[in-house]
């Protein structure tokens, strides 16, 4: 039986460089593409991520915002508060 070896990619980034993670689908699997450059990150998402976000906002155009605010307020009041964090490690 032959075992295929997978080559692992490595990315080196300086401490002053951003590390941008972009989830993408590749061959039916969700993987993460990393970049240290904004232009390369924009290219990885097709360059129109901002336009996609604006288009998504239009989907909510027909909502009654008073009703949305009331529903969110109801959910907030019915939810159990998160217990305080213990930061003593």
Cα dist. 60→12, 35, 40 in Å? 41, 32, 30
pTM (predicted TM-score): 0.40
Q: How far, in whole angstroms, is CA 74 from its chain's centroid?
A: 27
Query: What pLDDT, in 10s, does the model give residues 15-26?
Result: 888 888 888 888
Residue spans of alpha helices (H) in the chain: 38-44, 49-59, 65-78
pLDDT digits (tens, 9 = 90+) for 47-78: 566 777 777 777 778 889 899 999 999 999 99
Please, what is the average pLDDT of the chain?
Answer: 81
d(CA 11, CA 44): 16
Q: Where are the domains of the chain?
A: 20-78
């Amino acid at each position: 039986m032959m075992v295929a070896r997978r080559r692992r990619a490595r990315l080196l980034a300086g401490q002053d460089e951003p590390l941008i993670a972009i989830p993408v689908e590749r061959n039916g699997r969700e993987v993460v593409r990393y970049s240290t450059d904004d232009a390369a990150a924009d290219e990885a998402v097709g360059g129109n991520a901002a336009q996609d976000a604006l288009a998504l906002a239009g989907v909510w155009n027909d909502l009654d915002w008073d009703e949305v605010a009331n529903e969110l307020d109801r959910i907030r009041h019915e939810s159990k508060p998160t217990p305080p964090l213990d930061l003593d490690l």
